[in-house]
Amino acid sequence: MLNVAKGTRVYVAGCGGMLGQAVYDELAARGAVIRATDIVLPDPWLALADVTDFALMRRELTGFAPELVLNLAAMTDLEECEREPERAWRTNGEAAENLGRIAASLDVPYVLISTAGMFDGLKDVYDDDEPPAPISVYAKSKVHAESAVAATVPMHYILRAGWMMGGGPRKDKKFINKLFRQIQAGARVLHVVEDKLGTPTYTVDFARGLFHVAESGQFGLYNQVCEGQANRRLVAERFLEYLGLAGQIELKVVPSDYFSGEFFAPRPASEQLVNRKLNERGLNRMRHWDVCLAEYSRQFAAELGKPR
Ligand SMILES: NC(=O)C1=CN([C@@H]2O[C@H](COP(=O)(O)OP(=O)(O)OC[C@H]3O[C@@H](n4cnc5c(N)ncnc54)[C@H](OP(=O)(O)O)[C@@H]3O)[C@@H](O)[C@H]2O)C=CC1
Ligand SMILES: Cc1cn([C@H]2C[C@H](O)[C@@H](COP(=O)(O)OP(=O)(O)O[C@H]3O[C@@H](C)C(=O)[C@@H](O)[C@H]3O)O2)c(=O)[nH]c1=O
């Protein structure tokens, strides 16, 4: 059985983003030998490698001789995916499949990160075995990745995350940092939707859980989200509270139509997941999202105190 510890060789594609930071930190804490690559290089421990270049990735992986391959690389801006569907398809779909094939040819396990956002949202909560019904280019590309990897890579783990929170003010590209940037710019009112339901997922917990699953030898597809469920308004409310700004900044609830210009990609009304399989197999290491948000918010509170 794989034990990710001192000296274990781990290749991480797409490690320059939100989740990449937490994965790198976890691997570094374990003393693993890491090759972390991306197309953006915000840190010196990253090297350049584009996952859509099959020949390059084959050289990368063969040369490094990993014991485990993680693929975090994706286009995660849903609007960009709608605008550039071919690039989204190549990056999120085809490249995920190709990396899996290379890992399989090297006879090592492959971890692919997938998303809660691949359902039509007509149900309230989705467990691991619900058939996907993607409604956006992003979601369709991720469904392709899931099914191709499941069909062609024997030693695969596919882990589905929900609304990701992580990476801090420097790397977080999603809801928390989008709110924070408005706060930093002096907003006294934040407009937030209540008609989108999801399961926040803290990258720190996700990374720890990922290695726990990858060490289990129980290959397959898993939902891996924080405990509890939420809507965007609730997350914003708790975030303001943890920043000590409740009462100072107004939260105005608006329908999703309010954002139809900025966030024009279709998003399901619900992308709430439950970790049924992780629970059944005793592999669930995820805390409640609110506990995680309290912890995560400290990075933003510290930033508020700094001179700009
Ligand atoms: N963020 C979220 O809310 C969620 C994310 N996920 C999944 O989690 C995984 C990790 O994403 P996350 O860290 O959150 O998002 P990020 O966008 O922060 O990280 C993804 C990284 O992949 C990079 N990337 C894009 N294209 C390529 C390429 N061709 N070759 C190599 N790297 C590339 C991105 O660079 P660049 O910034 O230039 O695009 C980025 O640095 C992804 O598979 C994503 O689909 C699942 C659910 C929710
Ligand atoms: C900035 C802002 C957004 N919103 C809402 C509108 C919209 O529904 C949503 C957009 O925020 P985000 O960009 O964080 O969310 P989004 O792009 O929907 O996040 C998705 O990312 C990809 C990668 C996934 O895999 C999905 O599962 C999902 O997590 O938040 C507000 O309500 N108020 C605001 O001030």
CA distance 175 to 296: 13
In this prediction the ipTM stands at: 0.99
Ligand 2 pocket mutation pick from 159, 163, 194 by most atoms within 8 angstroms of CB:
163
Average pLDDT, stretch 179-202?
98
Q: Quick check: pTM over 0.90? A: yes
Q: Where are the alpha helices (H) located in 201-284, listed in sequence order?
A: 203-214, 232-242, 276-280
CA distance 57 to 9: 16
pLDDT for the residue 308: 65
CA distance 114 to 100: 14
Sign (positive or negative) of CA dihedral 81, 100, 273, 295: negative
Q: What is the mean pLDDT of the chain?
A: 97
Q: Residue 142: CB within 6 Å of ligand 2?
A: no
Please state the atom number of ligand 1 nearest to the C-alpha of residue 17.
18
Q: Residue 259: CB within 6 Å of ligand 2?
A: yes
Q: What are phi and psi of 256, to 5 degrees?
A: -60, -25
pLDDT for the residue 167: 98
Ligand 2 pocket mutation pick from 259, 262, 264 by most atoms within 8 angstroms of CB:
259
Q: Residue 191: CB within 6 Å of ligand 2?
A: yes
Give the model confidence (pLDDT) of 97-106 as tens digits.
Answer: 999 999 999 9
pLDDT for the residue 1: 85
Q: Residue 267: CB within 6 Å of ligand 2?
A: yes
Q: Which residues line ligand 1 (CB under 6 A)?
A: 13-14, 16-20, 38-40, 50-52, 72-76, 91, 113, 115, 161, 163-164, 173-174
Band of the pLDDT at 214, cuts 50, 70, 90? very high
Q: What are phi and psi of 114, to 5 degrees?
A: -120, -165
Domain locations in the chain?
A: 9-172+199-229+271-287
Ligand 2 pocket mutation pick from 188, 194, 232 by most atoms within 8 angstroms of CB:
232
**Burial zone of 122 (CB within 10 Å; 0-12 exposed, 13-18 middle, 19+ buried):** exposed
Average pLDDT, stretch 36-42?
98
Taking the centre of ligand 1 as the mean of its atom positions, its distance from the CA of residue 246, in whole angstroms, is 31
Give the model confidence (pLDDT) of 237-251 as tens digits.
Answer: 999 999 999 999 999
Query: For the chain, what percentages of helix, strand and coil (3-state, to nearest 5) are there?
Result: 45, 20, 35
Give the model confidence (pLDDT) of 104-156 as tens digits.
Answer: 999 999 999 999 999 999 999 999 999 999 999 999 999 999 999 999 999 99
Band of the pLDDT at 305, cuts 50, 70, 90? confident
Closest ligand to residue 79's CA: 2
CATH number of 9-172+199-229+271-287: 3.40.50.720
**Burial zone of 87 (CB within 10 Å; 0-12 exposed, 13-18 middle, 19+ buried):** middle
Q: Residue 233: CB within 6 Å of ligand 2?
A: no
